[in-house]
């Protein structure tokens, strides 16, 4: 008999298992594929490993600007690049394995089915627990008329295994995944086209930031079709078609309990509890942000609520979101558009990276910071386009989460010369 059984060993499941074990719960963690989930094995980590390499590749191409002569020019070794991705994954997976063992968490490699409240069926046995946490993640979405075949039409998972560089690549979907893969393949030398059904790239983020990245991509040679149905294009014109129009929650692990769902998304209350009191859910399977760090937060929070009897509500006001294009994009809190719809009067503070000393040192002057506040100067949100945006955004996430005012950030002394001093400069102008 366990205190807690967790289905899914991605960010939500792992965070929940560690927290539960450290607070005295006898815990079982069940995973049908690989420790680390999508994030480690076919999402965040391998994608960012590729993006780091392609960014280095792009920097080497302009090395003469920094006084470094590379007469022959850099070349990409796809075999070594693939090996690098596997090495990073293996090192991180070993760390997770140590975390599980050191916390005395029972890790079970199996497909799990919830057959009753408190009962989970495996192939050869039934486990019982006081609580169950469902954290079984998500999968790539297909379109009614466009299906994955693993060869010509691929998902983001297959796109990570780069055996050769496609001469011409079509990316269906201009969201985060589509834009990051566009960055990878543009850097590798592919002719890349993106087709997006809406009126701009990255639907849902600050429109000014989306327009900036559109401009950057076009300078790199990307061809963009907006307000366009992908089925109107001739796939025979492309070597590869990457279909990345979003992810659908996994929620098919129930063989008995009548769990409430909405379009496969498991419905939970503000405490991450399902309609069955002792079953909770966290991560991609409940929809929402579909971000690893949000999933980790939800995993820990669900266990806190099991321990305390539902005392802490989920709070998403300061979840940072990062897009690892070049330049990077990062945002937190309300966008300018959202703030204008919510507040009668807002304050907008902006600063362009072309006025930042360290941007010239790195030769990364394309970008800006925008900070949004209400009329009382409470910081509501921010967006950053530029070098190290994914690191800088956490200063403003801290500000949003703790209800800081513009003056409290502005009057903080930032070191010079740094990229982060751009945050203070935004508020001084």
The span from the CA of 138 to the CA of 249, in Å, is 4
The span from the CA of 205 to the CA of 19, in Å, is 32
3-state secondary structure the chain: CEEEEEECCCHHHHHHHHHHHHCCCCEEEEECCCCCHHHHHHCHHHHHHHHHHHHHHHHHHCHHHHCCCCCCCCCCCHHHHHHHHHHHHHHHHHHHHHHHHHCCCEEEECCCEEEECCEEECCCCEEEEEEEEECCCEEECCECCECCCCCCEECHHHHCCCCCCCCEEEEECCCHHHHHHHHHHHHHCCEEEEECCCCCCCCCCCHHHHHHHHHHHHHCCCEEECCCCHHHCCHHHCCEEEECCCEEECCCCECCCCCCEECCEECCCCCCECCCCCEEECHHHHCCCCCHHHHHHHHHHHHHHHHHCCCCCCCCCCCCEEECCCCEEEEEECCHHHHHHHCCCEEEEEEEHHHCHHHHHCCCCCCEEEEEEECCCEEEEEEEEECCHHHHHHHHHHHHHCCCEHHHHHCCCCCCCCCCHHHHHHHHC
The span from the CA of 51 to the CA of 54, in Å, is 5
CA-to-CA dists, residue 205 to 78, 241, 335, 384, angstroms: 33, 25, 7, 11
Tokens of 40: 């480690």
Tokens of 120: 């989970």
Q: Is the peptide bond before 392 cis (omega within 30 degrees of 0)?
A: no
The span from the CA of 38 to the CA of 14, in Å, is 12
Q: Which of 52, 293, 416, 429 is catalytic?
A: 416
What is the phi/psi pair of residue 287, to 5°?
Answer: 80, -145
- 394 is an active site residue: no
Q: Catalogue the active-site residues.
A: 416
């Amino acid at each position: 008999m366990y205190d807690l059984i967790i289905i899914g060993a991605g960010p939500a499941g792992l965070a929940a298992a560690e927290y539960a074990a450290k607070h005295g719960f006898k815990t079982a963690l069940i995973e049908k594929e690989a420790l680390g989930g999508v994030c480690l094995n076919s999402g965040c980590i391998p994608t960012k490993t590729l993006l780091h390499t392609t960014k280095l590749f792009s920097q080497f191409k302009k090395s003469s600007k920094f006084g470094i002569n590379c007469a022959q020019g850099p070349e990409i070794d796809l075999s070594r690049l693939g090996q690098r991705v596997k090495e990073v994954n293996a090192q991180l997976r070993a760390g997770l394995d140590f975390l599980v063992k050191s916390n005395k968490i029972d890790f079970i490699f199996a497909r799990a089915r919830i057959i009753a409240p408190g009962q989970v069926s495996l192939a050869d046995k039934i486990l019982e627990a006081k609580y169950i946490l469902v954290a079984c993640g998500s999968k790539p979405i297909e379109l009614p008329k466009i299906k994955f075949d693993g060869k010509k039409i691929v998902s983001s998972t297959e796109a990570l295994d780069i055996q050769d560089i496609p001469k011409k690549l079509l990316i269906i979907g201009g969201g985060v995944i589509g834009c990051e893969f566009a960055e990878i393949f543009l850097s590798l030398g592919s002719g890349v086209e993106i087709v997006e059904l809406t009126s701009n790239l990255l639907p849902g983020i600050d429109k000014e930031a989306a327009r900036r990245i559109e401009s950057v991509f076009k300078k790199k040679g990307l061809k963009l079709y907006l307000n366009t149905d992908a089925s109107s294009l001739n796939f025979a014109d492309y070597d590869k078609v990457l279909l990345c129009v979003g992810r659908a929650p996994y929620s098919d692990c129930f063989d008995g309990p009548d769990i409430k769902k909405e379009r496969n998304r498991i419905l939970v209350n503000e405490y991450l509890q399902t309609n069955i009191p002792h079953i909770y859910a966290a991560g991609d399977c409940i929809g929402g942000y579909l971000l690893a760090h949000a999933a980790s937060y939800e995993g820990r929070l669900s266990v806190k609520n099991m321990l305390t009897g539902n005392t802490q509500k989920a709070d998403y006001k300061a979840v940072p979101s990062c897009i690892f294009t070049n330049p990077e994009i990062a945002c937190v809190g309300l966008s300018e558009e959202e703030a204008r719809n919510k507040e009668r009067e807002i304050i907008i503070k902006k600063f362009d990276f072309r006025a930042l000393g360290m941007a010239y040192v790195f030769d990364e002057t394309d970008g800006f910071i925008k900070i949004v506040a209400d009329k009382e100067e409470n910081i509501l949100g921010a967006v950053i386009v530029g070098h190290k945006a994914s690191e800088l955004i956490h200063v403003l996430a801290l500000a949003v989460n703790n209800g800081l005012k513009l003056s409290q950030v502005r009057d903080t002394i930032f070191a010079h010369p740094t990229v982060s001093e751009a945050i203070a400069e935004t508020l001084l102008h």
